[in-house]
Amino acid sequence: MIPLRITAATPAVAPFVARLNAEGRAFELERTSGRTPFDLDLEIVGEGRSVYRSSSAELELRGIDAGEVDGDVVFIDPSRGIAHRLVRARSAHNTFLITERCDQLCVMCSQPPKRGHVDMFPYFEAAALLAPANMVLGISGGEPTLFKDQLLPFLDRVLTHRRDLSFHILTNAQHFEPTDLPSLARLPHDRVTWGVPLYSSDLVIHDSIVGKDGAFQKLTGGLAILAKSGATLELRTVLMSRNAADLPDLARFVTSQVPFSSSWAIMQLENIGFGRLNWNELFFDHSVQFEPVANAIDLARSRGLNVWLYNFPRCTVPEGYRHLAPATISDWKRRYPAACEECSVRDGCSGLFEWHTDDRGFQRFGTL
């Protein structure tokens, strides 16, 4: 698995953000911010360690090759001796975790919420401004809009200063108010996509999945505010035994009630967090029962909506629908088991989540 945290040592006491420059400077041409006070240059390499310096800071990283982190933007927490890779320069899968708090308790949540919260906005802002050119940065949680009064100005500032960057923000859309309209409308809609989960057209099923009474109603209100602001919307539905049969009805609902949605992602379950705990009850094996998914896709596409299958290994999907299943699992949590070694479509395939165990897999799976 690709490491997101690196053992680090620094004489500094306070946390700080830095961009790592190895000798090769492979990413120099792609950077848009030029040299900044946040840039540290590689000075010593050897014995499993790399030492970086600038005129005002020093950082030692252990156990990772300097070439692997060249151009990365890291957050250094001196008290814990860790450098968090906030922006990996070679990856298309960089996400800022705004908070671990959430007002919902979804039955399949891959990262169950916690009460504590640490404000990282200043560090995220510094990191975003140092990111390589044309990057799409993810925003996730917990629920990021619990801190919308910081989130919306943060997006505005970064997107104003870096006109090449884009954001994809995951939100349960429970917290938008009409008063947020001016801030939402200000954001460049071609560079901000809101990913919003909707699990069923039946409010009872949706509310039971997210563990919150009244969530469906709040969600439709939030979607209306996003629509009024002109926002770009991606709806997301995790496929589960609780909502699989309802999928065609959901396709009807989405295309008639949320027509401003630019795409709809049907997603497979992630075997971690509550998803692992409730796996036996929730997992719906589309490899042997694709019909409800196919019916939903056909209906939505016939009405002009783009539909995608996220986290669906291509070999588990009938041939006519495989082109809708891109490689969506983030690089750092993706794995390809032995069966993938000779597979002709591996490059464009999600494979499996790192933590997806073979005994809990798809009945139909294997080399194409």
Footprint of ligand SF4 on this chain (CB under 6 A)? Answer: 313-315, 336, 339-340, 343, 345-346, 349, 351, 366-368
**Residue among 120, 161, 155, 112 at smallest CA distance from 137:** 155
Closer residue to ligand SF4, CB minimum distance, 224 or 339: 339
Minimal distance, residue 325 CB to ligand SF4, in Å: 9
Q: Which amino acid is at 69?
A: V
Closer residue to ligand SF4, CB minimum distance, 212 or 314: 314
Minimal distance, residue 349 CB to ligand SF4, in Å: 3
Minimal distance, residue 365 CB to ligand SF4, in Å: 6
Closer residue to ligand SF4, CB minimum distance, 231 or 317: 317
The conformational region for residue 46 under phi > 0 = left, psi -120 to 50 = alpha, else beta, is left
Distance between CA 206 and CA 307 in Å, rounded? 20
Minimal distance, residue 125 CB to ligand SF4, in Å: 37
Which residues are CB-contacts of 360 (< 8 A; sequence separation ≥ 6)?
Answer: 271, 279, 283
Sheet with strand 136-140: strands edge to edge: 94-97, 136-140, 166-170, 192-197, 232-238, 263-267, 306-310
Minimal distance, residue 301 CB to ligand SF4, in Å: 22
Minimal distance, residue 339 CB to ligand SF4, in Å: 5
How far CA 5 is from CA of 8, 16, 74, 169, in Å, comes to 9, 15, 9, 23
Closer residue to ligand SF4, CB minimum distance, 148 or 333: 333
Contact 118, 13 (CB under 8 A): no
SS3 (DSSP) at 152: helix
